[in-house]
Homo-oligomer: A and B are copies of this chain.
Amino acid sequence: MAFWSDEQLASIDRMLNPRSIAVVGATPRMQYGGRFLAAAMGSADQGVNVYPVNPRYEEVQGVQCYPSVSALPEAPDVVGVVVPYHAVLDTLRESHEKGAKSAIVISAGFAERAVDDRRDLQGELGRFARESGMRVSGPNCLGLANLKDDIWASASSRGASGLSGPIGLVCQSGASAFGPFMTRAVDEGIGFTYIVSTGNEADLDFCDFARYLLDDDDTRVIAGFVEGFKDGRKFLEVARLAAERGKPIVLIKIGRSDLGSRAAGSHTAALTGVDEAYEAAFAQYGVIRVQDYDDLLQVSNLMARCPRPSKRGVAVVSHSGGISSLTADMFGQAGLDLPPLSERAQDGINGILKGFGWAANPSDVTGFANSDEFPAIMSYMAEDEGVGTLVVASAGADPQATQVIAQRDASGMPVAFLWTGTRGAQSGLPMLRQAGIPVFYVPDKLAAGVRYLNDYHDWRERRLARGFAQAGEITDEQAGAAKALEGSGALSEYDSKALVRAFGVPTTREEVAADAESVVAAAERIGYPVALKVNSADILHKTEAGGIRLGLGDAEAVRNAFGDVTANARAFDANARIDGTVVQEMVSGGVETIVGVSYDAQLGPILLFGTGGVMVEVYNDVALRLCPITREDALEMIDEVKGARLLSGFRGAPVADVDALADVLVNVSQMAVQLEGSLGELDINPLMVLPKGQGVKAADALVVGTA
């Protein structure tokens, strides 16, 4: 619980469930100050005291107005701040003195202006909030709404008033939260516990509100729209806790392309991390990433409304063959199976259809989708072998909706609806929405949603079973070896390998030798054939420098190579420090792979695995994970890389030692965590994976320190 204190969560609690709201900068006009007051006033029926504050008015929108926060009759739970940017800090100070519990700063003009003094001002605002304990949302946000109790502390219309439901929505963009998300949710009858906009996040950020929602029993899914995380690791902690509690996080995260980052960077001043690292993190922590407004709402609703399917198979029933076949096609594309109908179910349904339609999965039940027999048809399909989810694709009038709701209630299984009619239908559709049946409007989105539903629960079961990987203790020996990094940039290949060996990565046998006879002696100890490489931390690309000779089969070859290699290296860079040469065991018969570590500013150490050589460069065929990883994570990484087929006996080659490879991935992930701060990057390329039982060997390695 390093990231959150009880006091902080209590302050958020007051902000989201206030009994009193002050609105500083309240006006009669329907601009931000006036809108905030009007929205707050709508909460008066719920017993919330609302206090306009503005020295220019005695009364605003029919309510008594106060000249200052200090003049209020009580210390408000939350203060809405709608004053010019330069007056915000004073308002916060006064509110704190009055005893206010929290504040929401609507005012803009801070870090989003991308000039230093405004960034500084925002920093000051954040510091004040943290030091005073009166926590702040914003600036440059639109506030928040509590839909459970219909209490609004926002500068928006009360557009979703009365629409409570199981989704907690947190967005950095206020105009998105109270724009498309709110209006589309109203369109579809999808309800929220809370809608929160966090703006520039001077103090409280997305993760803080998400953390609060984890403790809220009414919130079953956390939905978010994030342009950039202020603290990636804080997000990971939220995601970890969410996984433990079984509350899915569904996110739109900007950063799919550079264009989005450019826009996000300009307007919220939030950092947008490298997208690939986030993709890896989301996969590793079970976060569902979607990419549009409707997706976020529909997928969140599905996740909140449906239990875990007992099986991955889907049954699709429709009144139309064309609709059935498109739906089935999309389920196939999403990687889900429609198990063929059992004979029992076929017979049962054929007994109803009597020669019309098609008793199969997907089925085409023609007009029987709107008949008294439809419940029996649904039951046959839903109860069939291998079926965990029932999908109805239709647009029937009311009796159909009642039947589908009854089927859901009786079976307790996930039932989703593909609505194929007008979105403005007055019969059927509103009942489905009201009853919490997840409704989709196009087959591919429905199929993707059902895939998420299955994948999330399957992922969570695996994750809870294996746990999240923990950082291990560094041994004295490892700490000693890591001294090589102190004040260092790139290490030589020889030193790099020595370091990775200390952390559990087997390497080729090798010795340093600085004259021809020592080189020959070393080669005899190692055994022919050997490789000879110039040993220099200053020459990173040894091949270009002519500093490598491979496959040397006898003493004579070694002696000649020594002369060449040292001469070439000198000619390549007269100033390079050269510490003799490395005599190295040649590895043959293995599969080339690459293992690497980099550090993401937001997410920390990232482990990379790929198959070596051309495959990585041409196909970018790599798997990434945040460090550390478990052994199961390692095996999944290997599985994820297409080129890893080469490890399993491709074209008659021997099966490679995947167990040893997995060990190395785990060890390197621990190394990356333990050496964070001193290690800058690491490349083991190639890591040769030998036939099963013979282990792996790093044939080359490059360690770069942070100095």
Given contacts A324-B267, A423-B423, A643-B618, contact A257 B329 (CB under 8 A): yes
Docked CA distance A92–B395 (Å): 33
Binds B, one of A70-78, A98-106, A437-445, A499-507: A437-445
Which of B254, B266, B362, B445 touches A292 (beta carbons < 8 Å)?
A: B445
Give the residues from 252 to 281 in chain A that come closer than 8 angstroms, CB to CB, to chain B. 252, 254-264, 266-268
Binary per-residue interface labels of chain A (93-111) against chain B in the complex, 1 for a CB within 8 Å, 0 otherwise:
0000000000000001100
- A161 → chain B, closest Cβ, in Å? 14
A332 on interface, CB distance cutoff 8 Å: yes
Q: Are B362 and A263 in contact (CB-based, < 8 A)?
A: yes
A566 on interface, CB distance cutoff 8 Å: no
Binds B, one of A11-19, A129-137, A171-179, A453-461: A171-179
A295 on interface, CB distance cutoff 8 Å: yes
A325 on interface, CB distance cutoff 8 Å: yes
Q: Are B294 and A441 in contact (CB-based, < 8 A)?
A: yes
Docked CA distance A324–B113 (Å): 16
- A430 → chain B, closest Cβ, in Å? 13
A452 on interface, CB distance cutoff 8 Å: no
Q: Are A420 and B254 in contact (CB-based, < 8 A)?
A: no
A187 on interface, CB distance cutoff 8 Å: yes
Chain B residues within 8 Å of A171, by CB: 322
A360 on interface, CB distance cutoff 8 Å: yes
Which of B256, B267, B422, B618 touches A646 (beta carbons < 8 Å)?
A: B618
- A594 → chain B, closest Cβ, in Å? 15
A493 on interface, CB distance cutoff 8 Å: no
A184 on interface, CB distance cutoff 8 Å: yes
Q: Are B330 and A291 in contact (CB-based, < 8 A)?
A: yes
Q: Are B321 and A262 in contact (CB-based, < 8 A)?
A: no
Q: Are A323 and B256 in contact (CB-based, < 8 A)?
A: no
A180 on interface, CB distance cutoff 8 Å: yes
A225 on interface, CB distance cutoff 8 Å: yes
Binary per-residue interface labels of chain A (602-627) against chain B in the complex, 1 for a CB within 8 Å, 0 otherwise:
00000000000011011101000000
Q: Are B441 and A325 in contact (CB-based, < 8 A)?
A: no
Docked CA distance A322–B253 (Å): 11
Q: Are B180 and A323 in contact (CB-based, < 8 A)?
A: yes
Q: Are B424 and A187 in contact (CB-based, < 8 A)?
A: yes
Chain B residues within 8 Å of A527, by CB: none
8 shortest interchain CB distances as A-B pairs? A173-B322, A260-B329, A257-B332, A175-B320, A259-B332, A267-B321, A292-B442, A263-B325
Can you list 7 A-B contacts (CB < 8 A)?
A171-B322, A176-B420, A179-B421, A256-B330, A259-B337, A260-B329, A294-B442
